[in-house]
Chains A and B, each alone.
Chain A
C-alpha cells in the first residue's frame, strides 16, 4: 500500500499498539497531525507545553511497562522537549520522541524553526535518527521502539523533515529488526551467578541493595522471592521504591542522603552487598572513598556493563537482565545448601532500626508535611500511584508513603527535574483510568508546569494534587540553613497565587488546608466526593521543617544527621 510519510508514521504507531501520543502541533508536523486526525486508534493528548508532553509520556511509561510516545514540532518544540528527554534518559525510561524538522532542502539554511535537533539531543538520548528518505521511516521507527525498550531502556528520538512526511512510498512494517552493532546481553553468566550465590551463602553480614533496574525489568516478584528465600535485610533506592514491599519486616527503608539510619549502616557495614539494578549513585553512597574504606564483597547485577565498577569496585559483576539473573539465582538457591545463620547480624540491624530515625515531632497547630504524606498513604490504602516533583516534598513522599508495589512511585531521580509531578500523574492516570493518582508537590515545583491544569480539564484527569506549600524552595532553604550560614538567598516564594482559586478557574476543585485536624478530612473528600474531579489540595505546612535523616553531600554514609538535635 502506498502511503505518505505522515501516514506511515501513524501506521507504525498503530503497529506498535501505541494508545496515547502526547504532543503539540506546529508547522513541521502538520502532515503528521493530519494523518493523526484521520484515524481513531492512536489517541492524542494535547498538552500546553512540549516539556509536559514528554514528561506525561514518560509518566505513562513508568506506570506501565510500555514505551511512552511524544510528538513535537521542529525548533522550539524540540528544544522544549529536551528537559523531558534528559529526565527520561537519566532514569532509563523507554520512550520514542518524534520531532518534526524543516524540509530537507532547508536544513542548514537557518530556516524558520530550525535547530539541529539530533545534535542537541545526542547526549541525552539512548539513540537518535534523522530520517532522510520516506522509505526509511518504517524501519527507523521499528528500530526506535526496539532500542527504547531493549537492553538498558531509554528515550530514542526520530527527527523527520517535513517534506519526508509528505513524500510517498510503499508501506510495510518490518516484523523484526536486528542490528549488528546492538546486541544487549539478557542472560547472566552462569559461572558468575554461581559465584554470587556461593558468596551470598557464606556471608555473615549480608545486605541487598536494589534500584530502579528492578522496577524497569519487572523483577519485583523475583526480588521479593529471592530476599525472602535468603532472609537477608534489603534496602531499595529512590528509584527502586516498590520493588520490594515497604511493609515487610526485612525492608529497611531507603538508603542514601535521606535514607534511614538502619539502611545506611547496614549498607556500610555489610560484608557481602548484593546490588541489583542499582548504580552506587552519589546520592546513595555519598563519598565513594569513604564507602570503600569498609572491606566488603560486592556482587553487582546490571544490564549495562558501564554501570559496573564505575564508582565502586565490584567483586562479582553479572551483566544481564535483572529478572533473568534473579530467576537463575533463585533456581540455584532452591537447589543449594541451607542459608547461613545471620541472627547476630539481624540483632545489630534491629538495634540500628530501634533508633527510629523516621520519627518527627507532630503538631496540633501547624501542618507537618510528613503528616500529610502519612495521611495520604492511609486514605489511599497505600495503593495509589504517587508522582512527585523535586525537593523536600519528594523526599517526604519517598520516606512516608510506603510503596508495596512497583511502578506506583513516579519521580525524577537522576536528573531531578522540577515540574515533572503533574505530567507524570497525567500519564499514570491515562494508563490507569480507575486508579487513585496523587501528585505530591510543592508550591515552587508545581508552578513549573502549572499550565497542565488545562490539559487535565480537557481530558478529565481526576488527579489529586497535594501541594506541600511552605512558601520556600524548601530543599534550597534547608541547605542554606545548614551549610550556608542561614543566608536564604532567593529561596523564598513570594507573590504566590491562591492555588485553590487558580484550580477553580481552570474548572477544577480547590481546597486550602491550614489546620492539622483538617488534613485527613480534606484528603478523604478529595478521594471520595470528588473522585471524578481534579482536586488541588493546598496544604499550608510548616515553613521550617527539614528533611531528616541527612547525609551531607560528599560525606560518608555513616556520618548522618538524624534530626535537628544533631546539628
Chain B
C-alpha cells in the first residue's frame, strides 16, 4: 500500500540524511521525499511517499519517531488529505505544435511561464496522476526535460500537524 508520511524535524544539518539513511539501512522504499523549512525556521517539514505492508509502515513511523531530531510523525494517508506536486516541463514548441501545446496546457490549467521562439516551460500543479496524465498528453518527442517536486501533503479539515 502507498502511504504519505508527514513529519516535522529539527532544521539541523544532517537531519535529512538521518531520515534517508534510515530508509536505505532498513530497506524501506522511498517513492518521493520533499523537505523545506516551515513558518518556524527552526523546523522543517518533510513529506515522504512510501510503499509497504501495514507492518512495514508501522515500523517506518516508529523508526522515524525514534530519530532524535524528529519532532512529530503522521501518516496523513490514514485519513482525508490533499496531495499536490509541482512539475516544470520544457517542451519543443514550434510551428503548429505551439498552439496545440498551449491548448493542452489550458485544459490542464497549466501555465506557460517561459517562452522562446522554439520552446515553452510549462508549470503544472496537481496530484501525481494529473501530472502523469499531462505528460502522457504531450507528444514524447516534444518533451525536452521535466522536473517534479515530489509530493507535498496536508490533512483535510481539523487534522493539523503542528508542534
Interface of A toward B, CB cutoff 8 Å:
118-119, 122-123, 126-127, 130, 147, 179-182, 304-306, 309-310
Contact = CB atoms under 8 A, between A and B. Distances in A.
Nearest to A128: B14
Contacts of A127: 68-69
Contacts of A130: 13-14
B10 A181 contact: yes
Contact of A304 (B9, B13, B14, B66): B66
B129 to A, nearest CB: 33
Nearest to B25: A123
B65 A305 contact: yes
B163 interface: yes
B14 A122 contact: yes
A306 B55 contact: no
Nearest to A310: B59
A310 B68 CA distance: 20
B124 interface: no
Given A119-B17, A122-B18, A309 B58 contact: yes
Contacts of B25: 123
A130 B66 CA distance: 20
27 contacts: A118-B14, A119-B17, A122-B14, A122-B17, A122-B21, A123-B21, A126-B68, A127-B68, A127-B69, A130-B13, A130-B14, A147-B68, A180-B71, A181-B9, A181-B68, A181-B70, A181-B71, A182-B68, A304-B66, A305-B65, A305-B66, A306-B59, A306-B62, A306-B63, A306-B66, A309-B55, A310-B59
- Most chain A CB within a 10 A radius of its CB, from B63, B68, B163: B68
- Most chain A CB within a 10 A radius of its CB, from B9, B14, B69, B70: B14
Interface in B45-60: 55, 58-59
Interface string B1-24: 000000001100110011001000
- Most chain B CB within a 10 A radius of its CB, from A127, A180, A304: A180
Contacts of A126: 68
A118 B13 CA distance: 11
A493 B52 CA distance: 46
A22 B6 CA distance: 41
A305 B17 contact: no
Contacts of B58: 309
- Most chain B CB within a 10 A radius of its CB, from A119, A123, A147: A123
Nearest to A119: B17
Contacts of B68: 126-127, 147, 179, 181-182
A435 to B, nearest CB: 35
B95 to A, nearest CB: 50
B62 A180 contact: no
Interface string B80-121: 000000000000000000000000000000000000000000
Nearest to A181: B71
A123 B22 CA distance: 8
Nearest to A122: B21
A189 to B, nearest CB: 16
Contact of A180 (B13, B17, B55, B163): B163
B9 to A, nearest CB: 8
A306 B68 CA distance: 14
A490 B13 CA distance: 45
Q: What 4 pairs across the A-B complex have the smallest Cβ distances? A: A306-B62, A127-B68, A181-B71, A305-B62
A133 to B, nearest CB: 13
A127 B21 CA distance: 13
A309 B56 CA distance: 10
B163 to A, nearest CB: 7
Contacts of A182: 68
A118 B12 CA distance: 13
Nearest to A126: B68
Interface in B62-79: 62-63, 65-66, 68-71
A147 B68 CA distance: 9
A127 B13 CA distance: 13
A57 B65 CA distance: 28
Contacts of B70: 181
Contacts of B63: 306
A310 B13 CA distance: 30
B121 to A, nearest CB: 34
A305 B67 CA distance: 12
